[in-house]
Amino acid sequence: MSVTYLTMFDSAVDAAFPRGAQAYAAYVDGVVASQPNWSWITAEFPNALHLSITLDPDLDADALDIENGAASPESAAAWAQRQHARGAARPCLYASADTMQALILPALRAAGLERAAVRLWSAHYAGRHICSPSTCGAVSIAVDGTQWTNQAWGRTLDESMLLPDFFGAPAPRPQPSPKPAEDEMPSGTISVPAGMRESHAWAPGSVARIVLFSDWDGAQPDPPVVALRVAHADSAVFDAGPLTLPSLGITYRVDNPGDCDGCSFERIDNGPATVAWRTA
């Protein structure tokens, strides 16, 4: 089934906005001459979808801008709770992917805010994508939209890719099938082709080592190379690779197993030899 994603533009420069877009975002406050420009976009593009943004956690809007010179990560949960109190179903939190992973997600968990109660809008300038463990790997959960460039159309213009339900009630997300207890420490072979990433998850605290092995001698002239990214429940994803596999394999030791809840593999070489993996 194909998915039609939404495209949204935002800018502090009114003249940078293109016409005919699906969605626009602008500020109810601001620090440059053309801000606040929320009223301007709603009047200029009346048939589009709109997202209002504030830099100030004491103000109300659809989205809170969390970055240097704007709101702080510590204000995110209280701001979202205040928006709920005034009737907003899914207030939106904007932050860089790094800040989202390291500070926003832990703050929401500490405040008891469920994932479906907020929209998460990340900034990650790494090509058109929506941040998730299976795309860029910069966050440990999938967000609702990603601002992927700040130079769209060669202008001072931010462009975001959004899930189709970004402006409505969240659509049902596919849920992973429950794993039997013995699969909490999984194993297998890397099955995706070179250049593609596959992800795996487990219960935090159940894995202390990730082992990679390939009997490549005779199957290809050089050892396989695998990029390993290790996911942590309460901190950023850690790039442990690329790892070149010797004939006896290689073991990555997890420093803090209680915080580790998954990893992803990406085959860097394009050789035919199989790479097996297991956790322990």
Report pLDDT for 280: 86
Global pTM? 0.62
- Cis peptide leading into residue 36 (ω within 30°): yes
What whole-number distance in Å separates Cα of residue 186 and Cα of residue 98? 28
- Cis peptide leading into residue 221 (ω within 30°): no
Q: How far apart are the first and last CA of the chain?
A: 37
Query: Which residue from 246, 240, 187 is spatially nearest to 214, judged by alpha carbons?
Result: 246
Report pLDDT for 184: 54
SS3 of the chain: CCCCCEEEEECCCHHHCCCCCCEEEEECCCCCCCCCCHHHHHHHCCCCEEEEEECCCCCCCCEEEECCCCECHHHHHHHHHHHHHCCCCCCEEEEEHHHHHHHHHHHHHHCCCCHHHCEEEEECCCCCCCCCCCCCCCCCCCCCEEEEECEHHHCCEEEEEECCCCCCCCCCCCCCCCCCHHHHCCEEECCCCCCCEEEEECCCCCCCEEEEECCCECCECCCCEEEEEEEECCCCCEECCCEECCCCCEEEECCCHHHEEEEEEEECCCCCCCCEEEEC
Report pLDDT for 274: 87
Q: What topology is assigned to 181-279 in CATH?
A: Jelly Rolls (2.60.120)
Report pLDDT for 37: 94
- The pair phi, psi for residue 231, each rounded to 5°, is -90, 140
Does the domain spanning 6-162 belong to CATH 3.30.450? no
Report pLDDT for 3: 63
Instruction: Compute how many other C-beta atoms are within 10 angstroms of the C-beta atom of residue 97.
Output: 23
Report pLDDT for 180: 38
Report pLDDT for 171: 58
The answer for residues whose C-beta is within 8 angstroms of residue 65's C-beta and 6 or more apart is 27, 53, 54, 55, 71, 94
What whole-number distance in Å separates Cα of residue 10 and Cα of residue 21? 11
Q: So where are the chain's domains?
A: 6-162, 181-279
Tokens of 205: 């605290």
Contact 84, 91 (CB under 8 A): yes
What does R_g of the chain's alpha carbons equal in angstroms? 21
What whole-number distance in Å separates Cα of residue 73 and Cα of residue 76? 5
* Each residue's pLDDT expressed in tens, for the chain with a length of 280 residues: 446 899 999 998 999 999 999 999 999 998 777 789 999 999 999 999 999 999 999 999 999 999 999 999 999 999 999 999 999 999 999 999 999 999 999 999 999 999 999 999 999 999 999 999 989 999 999 999 999 999 999 999 999 999 999 998 665 554 444 433 334 577 888 887 777 888 888 888 888 899 998 888 888 888 899 999 888 776 667 888 788 888 768 888 888 888 888 888 999 988 888 888 888 8
